[in-house]
Chains A and B, each alone.
Chain A
Amino acid sequence: MSTRLASGGRLIDRETPIHFLFNGRKFPGYAGDTLASALLGAGQQLMGRSFKYHRPRSVVASGHEEPNALVNLGDGGRFEPNQRATVTELYDGLEARSQNHWPSLEMDIGALNDLAARFLPAGFYYKTFIHPRWAWKHLFEPVIRRSAGLGRAPVERDADRYEHYHTHCDLLIAGGGIAGLQAALVAGRAGLSVLLLEQSPHWGGRSPVDGATIDGAEADDWVKIALQELESLDNVRLRLRCQVAGLYDHGYALAVERLADHQPGAIPPRQRLWRIRARHVLTATGAIERPLAFASNDTPGVMLASAVRDYVVNWGVSPGDRTVIVTNNDDAYRTAIALHEAGLVVPMVVDARPGVGGPLAETVRALGIRVESGKAIAKVLGGKSVGGVAIAAQAGEGAVLETVPCEAVAMSGGWSPVVHLWSHCGGKLIWDEVSALFRPDPARPPTGADGSAMVTPAGSANGALLADAVLADADAQARAAVKALGARLPKSAVPQVETVAEQPLAATWIMPQGAGPALRAKMWLDFQNDVKVSDVQLAAQEGYASVEHAKRYTTLGMATDQGKLSNINGLAVLAGALDQRIPSVGTTTFRPPYTPLTMGTIAGEARGVLFQPLRKTALHSAHEAARADFEPVGQWRRPYCYPRPGEDRQAAVVREVKNTRQAVGLLDASTLGKIIVSGPDAGRFLDMIYTNMMSTLAPGKCRYGLICSENGFLIDDGVVARIDEQTWLCHTTTGGAERIHGHMEDWLQCEWWDWQVHTANVTEQFAQIGVVGPKARLLLETLGGMDVSKEALPFMHWADGRLGGFPVRVYRISFSGELSYEIALPASQGLALWQRLMAAGEELGVMPYGTEALHVMRAEKGFIMIGDETDGTIIPQDLGLSWAVSKKKADFLGKRAQQRSHMTDPDRWKLVGLETLDGSVLPDGAHLPAAGENANGQRNVQGRVTSTYYSPTLDRGIALALVHRGPDRMGEEVPVQDGKGGTVAARIVSPVFFDPKGEKQDV
């Protein structure tokens, strides 16, 4: 059983005991503990259940690579599933629950899967659950879904805040171990702006535990001295708890700073996402120890040798009184020494290498520890904890030579450099035969915008595993990076390190070498996803030979640790099964992020009301005061209608339409896009943008214009006013302002870059008020100051002037068919004018009207609405707008497209009006079925409704529709879908339902 040692633990503060809850039980711990170290220290080894077989699991690692010890952390709005206990800093009152079991961690029904494991090999689900057909969805899948998954789904809204921080630097250094610190010293002394980020709460990485002497000082002290110098440099920024999560093209990096995870709710934000544009990136991300594959290597109590060392040295935790070490390299001997120094028993070091010598092994032997070379663990004895190990010859098939009772096993299969960041943005790897590891291939680095290398690996991330090599490599790589960045190299020496020489490792992928199928089916590669040696071998046997196929078939490396412990071992087993060399099998692709990244952090501040900007017009407060019923139109909020007490939406709309048709209404038209187009070539430019002629429009006049895409389809419409010789003002639809402005700039910048034209989107600079209805002129005249008579300001003209003292530009344009003035004025004065008009118009019966009344009135007049009558497939000719498509102009956007055979086909659907025979309102989107079916068995169709409303003016349903040869079929009765599975009869009529001669607007 794991326990807390009576003394020791360089990271814990024994003076500050704290308490936490695990599965509802109260446990003791110390400040400085991780959740994992505290649980182990309190004797709680069992921490979770595996994904597939629900095997009992304990912690196997001590850092971010941990696959087993995942917990449901926290509660309510601060609940988080799948939190790695090994990197969860303990705080007082922490609440954690183990995952993936029912009814309890100790007694899990799901563990029945484990008994049936032999029948559930890799990919078993592809080969069964096939019959009967209904059963997958209704029987098998629900059971599998419930059994799968890990943590609970959060329920409550996130109680925390997140923020983004944008920054630049010359050199971004990922990792604050001795390599990262040395690199920062070199680059900092060179005067470069350096950002040094370390994911853990401590500087120095592994070195203080591994015990190097640097420049005559203990590693811990050297780290302190290095930090003092770095902190004194203004050009160096240092952050702990800040992990470089992903590296993207052109030196773009994301780092996540965990500010409050260790003190929940103490200070906002919880996490900060650093969005970094670095000129160069140096990855000093270290290396991760590999497990060894022997039978039942997933038993609680089997841990990485480095993790055992960490728990003893950093947190004063004993993994058990007796720990067997199993290794294929020298490094694990350090664990034997650390255990011995802590007063714990190491009954045996099981070394797979045939002849073991060298200083480390000799030191261990001298301590009286038995070292067995050429040996393997045949299997681990025990169930929910280690009871002992059976020893066999590594070269054999697993015949047990002896059993050694123990409570823990510390394993080491060698080390793998952390190459993730290097790989994220395209860096390639080479296989190092000597150390049996993949390291960055200097010949194939990730490249930046200029094609040169943008990432430099350093230290053990570059395959240099011993402290002296780490510092030498970090120094050299940092110097190369400094030089590449064009800075002057500082004069400083490489720190001198005293290290113990190591004997070479012997690559060991299966233990023992000749293990049979029964043992191989118990050798775990991917602990969390329960992928074993036998599974990878089965994948190879069945032809899933590509490393990606094997991964996907077995799920190796697809767990929350993304294969940090399993990838290389799995790859080696696959290579073995295929009888290929490891490098020729290749690796799977590392994807960002390095460790799972909280979604809230990705979203940052943009949530709730900050999700997207809410755009309000200058008149918004007046609408609110009038109790407007708002609707979202893009990011704008526009009044849909202004219901009075006792009115519903429909009643309000009817009243607003009638009042506008009979008296006078006010419309907030401020959201309409307003784009100024100016310059010597502006007329020529607009002649290309619009289908009709704009260059000939006289100053002072307005013209309705259409804008088509290159493919000829109508994308926007609006009234264009010519302001002066070189200036036009183009009105767009509300939703079209930014899009059309972008469209204009696209053509100006990419195609007609030499034309002298400027555009400016001035939509928000103006408030625009529609004064609409037979009494509109009367109302304006009560304000006075400007002649708005028909003679002075005829239909489709505009004029500047003052109305009631306000500086205004008045357009005589109409989207309702009524006498109508649209008054533009500086946004800051819009509200005052609106209020003046409302007050002055009281006797005339003025009322505001909303978007729905606007839509009804335009439909009564047969005016099209972009997005209703158009959908990206409609050309102006379909809508009876041929009159607005110039036949004289040599070219305009869409002209050539509109000449294609399908565009000129007389069989195209064209705009007409529809009136139901019974006066009812047709449903939205209704189609007009025709007789028979097409070759695909679909009902033939002859048209569809594009807009449908109740017309208060006509007191009946009216609709606009696109109908096959519609204009040729006036008066014909057609069936229209009624939305209930049947049809309703309607008559094809003119799309202009009201005032067909346009007499009311031109007065």
Chain B
Amino acid sequence: MPGSRGFDVKRYSVFAIAREALRWHRGWERAWATPEPKPEYDVVIVGGGGHGLATAYYLGKNHGITNVAVVEKGWLGGGNTGRNTTIIRSNYLQDPSAAIYEKARSLYETMSQDLNMNVMFSPRGVMMLAQTEHEVRGYKRTEMANALQGVKTEFIGPERVKELCPIIHIEGPRYPVLGALWQARGGTARHDAVAWGYARACSAMGMHILQNTEVTGITRDASGVTGIETSRGRIATRKLGLVVAGHSGQLAEMAGFRLPIESLALQALVSEPIKPCMDVVVMANTVHGYMSQSDKGEMVIGGGTDGFNNFTQRGSFHHIEETVRALIETFPMLSRLKMLRQWGGIVDMTGDRSPIISTTPVPGIFVDCGWGTGGFKAIPGSGWAMAELMAKGQPGPLAEAFGLSRFREGRFIDESVAAGVAH
């Protein structure tokens, strides 16, 4: 492992599997250690999802800070990291968004090698369908912006759409496919493996991954944060990162400040597995739905957010109904497939639907939240930027535009023009 000085983790490889197979796999060690909490750490990250773990990882890898604990209320990756539709793309319109999502996408390209764990990043290509003239103009604008941002995208015509995704019905009747914004280097990855891979690498650097450890309070003195109270006792720290997505509001309240975040349930579903029929990711914003096929063969389908704030990670029906209708219009073959299961994830939405990577009113406390419906694709970029912010105390170029002050100043980063639906 890179910088291996903590928990000893044997390298994964085909040779290791062969060796272990001969002794019935008795030699595999824990992917990450389960230590008792220390009384104090240099940095404590609250939230053992992708973003929190990535923050810890880049604190160690990029900044040499390894006296770090990641504190997780439940099981690693049990929030949105393990509930999303695994789409990775960076074809964003606004400069700050394109910068951080493209950073993330490029880190995904080498993540399996970096972490020595196969996260199955598959750059199968992402297309966003244009189904009205207005959408055509919008995506051409994004294509133009992307060209200047160093993000490779192209606007393709309906014939090319059909060629890349033969199961699509491009002739309407309601919304014919007029073209698509195509990002060939976008794709999908195995979501759980991202969390596990980061956790394993963090553990190897000597960091502490503390699962089933719920934060019950945040303590501070005149100079800033002093530590956290948890279900496993008090942990002191002078640098605290809050990376808890939908629960950011509660943690901020414990620390004594407020965040402009609303929590909503975002709906998703998968079909039964079938043999490969779709190699690309398709997003259809006019009709509200997006779909890809997992390596297992399931059609993975994303819908919209429920129209009310809540914290239940349950599926609801009306969005599923709308999403499935829309997708059957776009992919008629879906009609005779069956929905295997549906679920909800709690997304943290800001007013401009862009994230917050920021210092806070409490010195020593930093937040990384507000990724809303687009968090999975951002994980490595978010961790990279948050680690830089926490290590240096001030944001680097990736995080700079995402500070909390933007809401006060009106400096919004609004992507709604480019993404009418959840993404």
Contacts and interface: CB of A to CB of B under 8 A. Distances in A.
Contact of A150 (B12, B167, B272, B316): B272
Interface stretch (B146-154, B226-234, B369-377): B146-154
A78 B335 CA distance: 10
Given A119-B17, A145-B297, A248-B314, A903 B410 contact: yes
B67 interface: no
A644 interface: no
Contacts of B315: 246, 248, 591-592
B144 interface: yes
Given A121-B21, A712-B410, A593 B339 contact: yes
B112 A148 contact: no
A925 B175 contact: no
Interface string B109-129: 110110011111111100000
- Max chain A C-beta neighbours (<10 A), residue from B32, B321, B408: B321
Contacts of B360: none
22 contacts: A129-B118, A149-B276, A153-B275, A154-B336, A155-B333, A246-B315, A249-B312, A249-B314, A542-B31, A546-B76, A549-B76, A552-B82, A589-B343, A598-B339, A600-B335, A603-B321, A614-B174, A632-B132, A900-B409, A901-B410, A924-B136, A944-B145
B35 to A, nearest CB: 12
A354 interface: no
A603 B95 contact: no
B143 interface: yes
A555 B187 CA distance: 22
6 tightest Cβ-Cβ pairs between the two chains A and B: A925-B141, A149-B297, A596-B338, A900-B410, A935-B397, A153-B277
Nearest to A425: B314
B75 A546 contact: yes
A981 B146 CA distance: 12
B91 to A, nearest CB: 13
A925 B143 CA distance: 8
A84 to B, nearest CB: 10
Contacts of A608: 173, 329
B175 A632 contact: yes
B16 to A, nearest CB: 7
A600 B147 contact: no
Interface in A257-310: 275
- Max chain A C-beta neighbours (<10 A), residue from B24, B271, B342: B24
B274 A130 contact: no
Given A130-B12, A151-B272, A607-B325, A541 B28 contact: yes
Interface string B390-423: 0000000110100000101111101011000000
Contacts of A136: 112, 118, 120-122
Contacts of B150: 937-939
Interface in B293-325: 293, 295-297, 312-317, 320-321, 324-325
Contacts of A79: 336
Given A125-B118, A534-B25, A611-B329, A543 B32 contact: yes
Given A126-B197, A246-B342, A873-B417, 10 more contacts: A126-B118, A128-B14, A144-B295, A155-B333, A602-B324, A602-B339, A897-B410, A902-B406, A927-B148, A935-B400
B329 A538 contact: no
A711 B351 CA distance: 9
Contact of B332 (A145, A157, A900): A157
A543 B203 CA distance: 12
Contacts of A927: 144-145, 148
Contacts of A81: 272, 274, 336-337
Nearest to A127: B12
A868 interface: yes
Interface string A885-916: 00000000000011011110000000000000
A660 to B, nearest CB: 21
A566 B149 CA distance: 50
Contacts of A977: 144, 147-148
A543 B31 contact: yes
A141 interface: yes
Interface of B: 12-14, 16-18, 21, 24-26, 28-34, 74-76, 78, 82, 95-96, 98-99, 109-110, 112-113, 116-124, 132-134, 136-145, 147-150, 167, 173-175, 187, 190, 192-193, 196-197, 211, 271-277, 293, 295-297, 312-317, 320-321, 324-329, 332-343, 351, 397-398, 400, 406, 408-412, 414, 416-417
Contact of A133 (B113, B142, B190, B316): B113
A938 B21 contact: no
Interface in A551-609: 552-553, 555, 560, 562, 589, 591-593, 596-600, 602-604, 606-609
A51 B211 CA distance: 32
Given A543-B31, A926-B144, A939-B148, A872 B75 contact: no
A426 B313 CA distance: 10
A517 B26 CA distance: 9
B137 A902 contact: no
A204 B291 CA distance: 41
Contacts of B414: 871-873
Contacts of B142: 925
A426 B339 CA distance: 20
Given A145-B276, A534-B24, A592-B341, A872 B140 contact: no
B292 to A, nearest CB: 12
B189 to A, nearest CB: 10
B247 to A, nearest CB: 18
Contact of A146 (B134, B140, B276, B313): B276
A920 to B, nearest CB: 16
Contacts of B143: 925
A426 B338 contact: no
Contacts of B400: 935
Nearest to A868: B137
Nearest to B13: A128
B6 to A, nearest CB: 15
B410 A941 contact: no
Nearest to B134: A867
B337 A127 contact: no
A152 to B, nearest CB: 6
B338 A151 contact: no
- Max chain B C-beta neighbours (<10 A), residue from A424, A938, A977: A938
Contacts of B313: 589
A149 B277 CA distance: 10
A295 B33 CA distance: 32
Contacts of A602: 320-321, 324-325, 339
- Max chain A C-beta neighbours (<10 A), residue from B13, B296, B329: B296
B24 A518 contact: yes
A541 B29 CA distance: 7
Given A127-B117, A148-B297, A607-B328, A137 B340 contact: no
Contacts of B28: 538, 541-542
A611 B325 contact: yes
Nearest to B401: A936
Interface string A147-188: 011111111111000000000000000000000000000000
A254 interface: yes
B210 to A, nearest CB: 13
B80 to A, nearest CB: 14
- Max chain A C-beta neighbours (<10 A), residue from B26, B76, B174: B174
A98 to B, nearest CB: 13
A541 B416 CA distance: 45
A246 B269 CA distance: 14
B316 to A, nearest CB: 6
A406 to B, nearest CB: 29
B340 A426 contact: no
B12 A902 contact: no
B21 A542 contact: no
Interface in A524-552: 534, 538, 541-544, 546, 548-549, 552
Contact of B316 (A125, A248, A600, A903): A248
Contacts of A144: 295
